[in-house]
């Protein structure tokens, strides 16, 4: 199922800082699927130094968003 509501991006952006690792990962994945440029700055500002898997997912999502905008 794909969510097409533009307000979903704001909800997903808020979810990237959730305490639950699964919610954070799903939010990052979904933001990558959306490709919404509004997610670039919040993603790049995340403190992800201690979690290499999450850092890789965030970096891949940022690259994906940049690719969709090019």
Confidence tier at 4 by pLDDT (50, 70, 90): low
pLDDT of residue 21: 87
Task: Write out pLDDT tens, residues 17-54.
Answer: 899 989 999 999 999 888 889 999 999 988 777 778 88
- CA torsion sign for 9, 46, 64, 20 is negative
For the domain spanning 7-69, the CATH number is 1.25.10.10
Each domain of the chain, given as residue ranges in start order, spans 7-69
Instruction: Give the span between the Cα atoms of 68 and 61, in whole angstroms.
Output: 11
Closest among 11, 18, 57, 9 to 37, alpha carbons compared: 9
Tokens of 34: 């959306």
């Amino acid at each position: 199922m794909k969510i097409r509501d533009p307000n979903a991006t704001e909800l997903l952006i808020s979810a990237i800082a959730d305490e639950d690792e699964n919610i954070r990962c799903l939010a990052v994945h979904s933001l990558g699927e959306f490709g919404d440029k509004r997610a670039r700055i919040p993603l790049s500002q995340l403190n992800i130094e201690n979690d290499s898997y999450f850092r890789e997912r965030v970096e891949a999502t940022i690259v994906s968003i940049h690719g969709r905008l090019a």
